[in-house]
Structure 1
Amino acid sequence: MTSNTDWRALVLPLAALALWYALTALQLVDTKLIVPPGAVLDAAWQVASGGQLLAGLRASLVRDLSGFAAGSAAGILFGLLLGVSRWAERLVGPTFHTLKQISLFAWLPLLSTWLGTGEAAKVLFIALSAFYPVALNTFEGVRGVTRAQLEVARVLGFNRIQLAARLILPAASARIATGLHLALLYAWLATIGAEYLLGSSAQGIGSVVIRGKATFHVELIVVGMLLIGGVGLLLNRLAAAVEDRVLHWRGPGH
């Protein structure tokens, strides 16, 4: 069943590839704008053989994972604080819920004003993109702990550390994992957005697209787009696999 489903999922991409090839081979489109698949493969080989593609991918992933780690750690701590403290929720909760309504990319002009267009601004922007989904899901996961569960913990004599380690975190783990999964995807989108919109000479996959646009090298733009999508797909699959493995105790259907 799974194998058949996977094959069916390839029908549309393969049909699109065949249509793309036919349109360019028969000269039914302007091949300066819609370039042939072969030209894209040639461009990919050129940047890959020159080491530019690998260097750019490495730079983007380091930037992405640095921001993801920082934003996720801050999000878990902040979500736990809001979840366990009514005082903290009343004090900073309304501000947090208001700020999360602001489009993420609306922060870029402010960050570039404060920090310029260097690495610090990019990593902070990526961290911000990871922070919100992790903080929100952690908060909701902690608030999902029932009174009955808390009463059992009190009967068992749990201190605060035991309460957090043996009840609150395990009970909220599924929501935290969901937040981390979303954060990984958002962080990758933010990485590409930061590299593209905070234009600089720094390496990264976004710089491949920028270079293609600057030189009207459409093949290079398509190579960058395909690589961005491919890495995003791999990150999504990796996050799902890790989530299933870590939370295997939930059983099938969750």
Structure 2
Amino acid sequence: MHKRIDLRAWALPVALLAAWWTVTAGGWVDTKLIVPPGSVLRVAAKTLVDPLFWQGVLFSVARDASGFALGAMGGVVLGGLLGASRRAERLIGPSFHALRQVSLFAWLPLLSTWFGYGETAKLVFIALSALYPVTLGTFEGVRSVSLQHAEVARVYRFTRTQRVFRLLLPAAGPQIATGLTLGLVSAWVATIGSEFLLANWGNGLGNIIIRGRSAFNVELIVVGMLAIGLVGGALSHLAGRIESRVLHVRAPH
């Protein structure tokens, strides 16, 4: 059977588009500030055939993937350590939770002072954004491992390495997958934020909006925003599919 498409999700976007077209076509707003949908489509068509646009997409996605990978690896290691060791939780946990309360964007002045405005600062910022949700997901997953599982590991005389890879990580898989999904979403937001706030006129989707703002090209700004939303939505959908697949594999049959 084919899955029926729920059209109700399109009701609000279509209503907003209709309202946008109505107020601009009726001359109710300043069309230099709130541009008509038709002019946005014309700029979008021109932008989509520009190789620099697709180069920017690739740079942003690659930047996002690199920073996310660093933050995710650090988050799994740190979360596993905090979840498996009460001593580590007492020593590191309070500092981690205190730093987690600092707004992510508050790190930008310090990162730009340390690393400048290049790729290193961007990657560290993206990695930090992914680190927190992945750490928390891994911590919760490892801490939720039942005493029965631990007893089985003790009976079979698992080594420390076997406990990690054959007990803790598989048992904590669903929570880790959720943390990775949240981390990927956070990493994309941080990717675009870094391109805005650590701008050095490099490549990336954020630079499209910067160019539009500098030229007062509102159409290009809107096209950039739509592109950011579509790419972010695609990444979020991909992460959700991967999470569902992991949970399906882990579920008892």
Provide TM-score, normalisation by structure 1. Answer: 0.95
2:206 is the counterpart of 1:213: no
2:145 is the counterpart of 1:162: no
> Is there any run of 5+ residues in structure 2 with no aligned partner, and where?
none
**Residue identity in the other structure for 2:4:** S
State how 1:125-140 maps to structure 2 within 5 Å.
125-140=125-140
> Residue by residue, what CA displacement relative to the aligned partner does 1:44-103 show, whole Å, maximum 9, x if unpaired?
122222212101111111111000001101110111111112221111111001000111
Number of residue equivalences? 251
2:6 is the counterpart of 1:35: no
2:14 is the counterpart of 1:14: yes
Q: 1:192 and 1:154 mapped to 2: Cα distance? A: 47
Q: 2:249 and 2:207 mapped to 1: Cα distance? A: 42
With 102-111 and 139-148 compared, the bigger mean Cα shift is at: 139-148
> Residue by residue, what CA displacement relative to the aligned partner does 1:165-184 show, whole Å, maximum 9, x if unpaired?
22111111111001100010
Q: Which residue of 1 aligns with 2:4?
A: 3
> Residue by residue, what CA displacement relative to the aligned partner does 1:159-208 show, whole Å, maximum 9, x if unpaired?
22222222111111111001100010000000000000112111110001
Q: Which residue of 2 aligns with 1:228?
A: 228
Q: 1:131 and 1:117 mapped to 2: Cα distance? A: 21
Q: 1:197 and 1:3 mapped to 2: Cα distance? A: 43
- Secondary structure in 2 matching 1:247: helix
- Secondary structure in 2 matching 1:61: helix
**Residue identity in the other structure for 1:3:** R
Q: 1:203 and 1:249 mapped to 2: Cα distance? A: 38
RMSD (Å) for aligned C-alpha atoms: 1.5
Q: Which residue of 1 aligns with 2:96?
A: 96
2:68 is the counterpart of 1:65: no
2:187 is the counterpart of 1:187: yes
Q: Which residue of 1 aligns with 2:178?
A: 178
Deviation at 1:28, TM superposition (A): 1.6
- Secondary structure in 2 matching 1:66: helix
Q: 1:115 and 1:158 mapped to 2: Cα distance? A: 43
Q: 1:185 and 1:80 mapped to 2: Cα distance? A: 21
> Residue by residue, what CA displacement relative to the aligned partner does 1:120-149 show, whole Å, maximum 9, x if unpaired?
100110011011110111111111112222
Q: 1:250 and 1:160 mapped to 2: Cα distance? A: 23
Q: 2:239 and 2:41 mapped to 1: Cα distance? A: 29
Q: 2:167 and 2:251 mapped to 1: Cα distance? A: 19
Q: 2:49 and 2:130 mapped to 1: Cα distance? A: 33
The percentage of counterpart residues that share the same residue type is 57
**Residue identity in the other structure for 1:191:** T
State how 1:236-251 maps to structure 2 within 5 Å.
236-249=236-249, 251=251
> Is there any run of 5+ residues in structure 1 with no aligned partner, and where?
none
Q: 2:194 and 2:14 mapped to 1: Cα distance? A: 31
Q: Which residue of 1 aligns with 2:76?
A: 76
